[in-house]
């Protein structure tokens, strides 16, 4: 197996970051016919060059700000105009609406003898998002949060604490309002679809 030398790998990361930031993130939405698929592939190719790990068939929508410390699983997506800062692990089959923000650090504010601007930032904390999660539009996820498998996070929620598996959470701050049950599948009129691996 071919392995790049450290200088070549560093150059590849820099070129990929420049291509994404200056060109590919501005391409049209991946929902458009023909040109959308090309845009999706170019964005994913560039992000794969600088991010820690990018799975198969990932959809990074236009204008998303991406950290190099991103790990994202197969068939997951990042919404248009979303921002992901610092270390973030996103599982497989994750749907993310537009304009979501994931923070991994915050401003220090413990001291009162100097301004908050002078206190700097906290150490980055890993944000983890499980498999098969649906994150609504404009959701904000705060540092150190873990969202379990099968969760639904309602639009405009602010997630400040961990969300357990197979629950629905919404609000500011986000609170669990319901546990997902097998009967929900039939109540919402959903039909089974085969998931191609």
Q: Annotated catalytic sites, by residue?
A: 107
Helix (H) or strand (E) holding 102: strand 101-102
Distance CA 163, CA 157 (A): 12
b/e per residue 70-89 (b: at least 16 CB within 10 A)? bbbbebbbbbbbbbbbbbbb
Those residues with Cβ within 8 angstroms of residue 122's Cβ, 6 or more apart along the chain or in another chain: 105, 106, 107, 108, 143
Q: Could you tell me which residues come within 8 angstroms of residue 5 by beta carbon, excluding any fewer than 6 positions away?
A: none
Backbone angle region of 103, left / alpha / beta, with phi > 0 → left and psi within -120 to 50 → alpha: beta
């Amino acid at each position: 197996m071919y392995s790049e030398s450290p200088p070549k790998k560093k150059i590849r990361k820099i070129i990929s970051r420049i291509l994404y930031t200056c060109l590919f993130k501005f391409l049209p939405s991946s929902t458009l016919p023909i040109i959308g698929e090309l845009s999706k592939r170019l964005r994913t190719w560039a992000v794969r060059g600088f991010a820690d790990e990018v799975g198969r068939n990932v959809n990074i929508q236009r204008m998303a700000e991406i950290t190099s410390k991103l790990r994202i699983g197969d068939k997951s997506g990042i919404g248009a105009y979303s921002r992901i800062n610092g270390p973030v692990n996103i599982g497989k089959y994750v749907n993310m609406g537009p304009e979501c923000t994931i923070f991994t650090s915050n401003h220090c504010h413990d001291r009162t003898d100097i301004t908050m601007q002078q206190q700097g930032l906290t150490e980055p904390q890993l944000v983890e998002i499980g498999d098969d999660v649906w994150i609504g539009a404009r959701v904000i996820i705060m540092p150190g949060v873990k969202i379990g498998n099968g969760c639904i996070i309602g639009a405009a929620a602010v997630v400040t604490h961990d969300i357990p598996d197979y629950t629905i959470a919404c609000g500011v701050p986000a609170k669990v309002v319901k546990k997902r049950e097998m009967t929900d599948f039939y109540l919402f009129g959903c039909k089974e679809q085969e998931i191609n691996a």
